[in-house]
Amino acid sequence: MDRKSFYLPIIFCLIFLSLKAQAVIYRPAGSSVSAKAYQFDFKAGVFSTKGNYDYLGNETALESGESFSQTDYEGILRYGQSDRLEWRGGLKFRQNASSDLVGQATNEATNSGVESVLLGLKYSFFAGERWRYALDAQFRTTFYSNEVYERRQTPPVDEIILGDDGQEIKLGGELSYQFSRSNFFNSSFYYVKTPNELSAEFAYDLNMTWAMETWWFYFGLGGIASLGSDQYTDDEINKPRMSTGATALYNSINRAYMKPYLGLAYNANSWKLGVEYAFVNSGVSTDSGSEISLNYTWSNDGQTREERKVESFKEYSIESSVVKISPRKNFVKVDQGMAQEIEKGMKFDIFQTDYFGGNVLVASGIAYEVGADWSIVKIVKLYNQIEIKEGFAARGYR
C-alpha cells in the first residue's frame, strides 16, 4: 500500500467524525483540556534518512543504493478530569523500510506493526494572566523485544527492528507566555529514562506560535541532550548489535540531536488540520534527515466553569434571594445575613430561576457588608447580558 492510499481514507474518516464537534481551542503549553472535554490528536509522519552520525558526531552520507524511512502513525486521546488535571492514552503504529549495502549486494528489509502504547497525565497551574505552567508524566512501552547479537555475530541483513524495545518514562513540565491575543511562546523540558538500556536523556522543545482564528503558524526547535550514562560510552566496539539496516536511530550510544521545525495549520469549527516540516542536521549516534508530518486535532469544549456551577448548585451552603439592586447594578442586597452564618468576603453566585427548575448563572460576587438578616453583595463578574432583578437566587459558598 503506498502512502497516498493510506493517508486519504484517514483524512476523510477524521473529517467525518468532526462534523458535530465544537470549536478547537488553542491551548498553549502549560494548559490542560477543559473539564469533561475530550481531545483526539492524530499524527502521520515520515522521516527520511540522509546520513548517519557516529557516537563521536561525525556524519557519513548514505551511499547510492542505501536508504531508510520511518513512518509513524500515532493517535492520542486526552480527557480533562478537571480544568487542571488531564489524562491521556495513545497508540503508535510504525513502518520501517531499509536498503543497505553489504559488499556489492543491496539488501532490502521492511517491518511494520504496533510500536508502543502510552499513558500520561498533566497537572496545570496559572501564574498571572499571561504565564501558564504544568507538571507532566508519561509512561510508554513497546509491544516487541529485539534480538541482540554479540559483536562477533552478524545480524540478519534481511531484517530490521521497529525501534528501541522496552519501557520509557518521561518526567518534566511545560511553560508558556502569552504576548498577545494570538502570539504565544511555548516550551517543554523532560527527563527521559530511555528503553533498551540506553543513556538517560534531557528532551526539550521551544516554539513561537501565532494562533489566529482560522490559520495557525509556528516554528521552533526540539531536541535531545544525552546525560552520557551509556555503559558503552568508552567501549563502543563491544556494543551488542541489532538488525538496524541503514539507520543509526536505534541502539545508539549517548544519542543527541537538534531538530528545527515549522508548521502551518487550518482551524475549522470542529477540527484542525496541519502540516509540519522538520530536519536534523547535527547530532550524535543518530541520523540526519528530514521529516514531514500531517497533524489532525478534534476537540469538544467539555463543561464550562459556569455549567459546573449550575450543575452543583445544591452544594451551596446559603440559599437567598435578591431584594434590591443598586442604581449602577454593581451591588445587590440579599435577604440573608449573620443569622444564617454569612460572613464578610463570602462568595455568591446570582442565578435567574424559573418555575420549571431552570438555572442560568448571571453573575458572581462577594459579601461586601453583612447585617443581622441582610447582606450587600458586590458584583465582581458578569457571565451574560441578563439584567439582575429582584427575586433572582443568590447562593453562597465558602
Q: Are 50 and 67 in contact (CB under 8 A)?
A: no
Q: What are phi and psi of 310, to 5 degrees?
A: -65, -40
Q: Are 338 and 344 in contact (CB under 8 A)?
A: no
Give me the average pLDDT of each 10-residue run along the chain (398 residues).
51 47 66 87 96 93 91 96 91 94 76 96 79 94 93 86 96 93 93 93 96 90 95 89 93 96 89 95 94 93 58 72 93 94 92 69 93 94 86 89
Q: Return the DSSP state at 65.
A: T
Length of the chain: 398
| In the chain, domain spans | 3-299, 305-397
Fold held by 305-397: Thrombin, subunit H (2.40.10)
User: What pLDDT sits at residue 308?
Assistant: 56
Give the residue from 79, 96, 91 showing the smallest Cα distance to 38.
79
Distance in angstroms (rounded) separating the CA atoms of residues 209 and 233 = 38
Taking the C-alpha atoms of 334, 335, 337 and 343 in order, what is their torsion angle to the nearest 10 degrees?
Answer: -20
Q: What are phi and psi of 252, to 5 degrees?
A: -85, 175
pTM of the model: 0.72
CATH class of 3-299: mainly beta
Fold match, 3-299 / 305-397: no
Distance in angstroms (rounded) separating the CA atoms of residues 16 and 298 = 11
The span from the first CA to the last CA of the chain, in angstroms, equals: 61
CA atoms within 13 A on the CB side of 287: 23
Beta carbons within 8 Å of 158's beta carbon, 6+ residues apart: 107, 108, 109
User: What pLDDT sits at residue 326?
Assistant: 94
Distance (Å) of CA 144 to CA 19, 95, 170, 297:
37, 14, 20, 29
User: What pLDDT sits at residue 36?
Assistant: 85
DSSP 33-50: PPTT-EEEEEEEEEEEEE
User: What pLDDT sits at residue 17?
Assistant: 46
The residue assigned the cell 516540516 is 277
Distance in angstroms (rounded) separating the CA atoms of residues 188 and 295 = 19
- Helices and strands counted in the chain (H then E): 2, 20
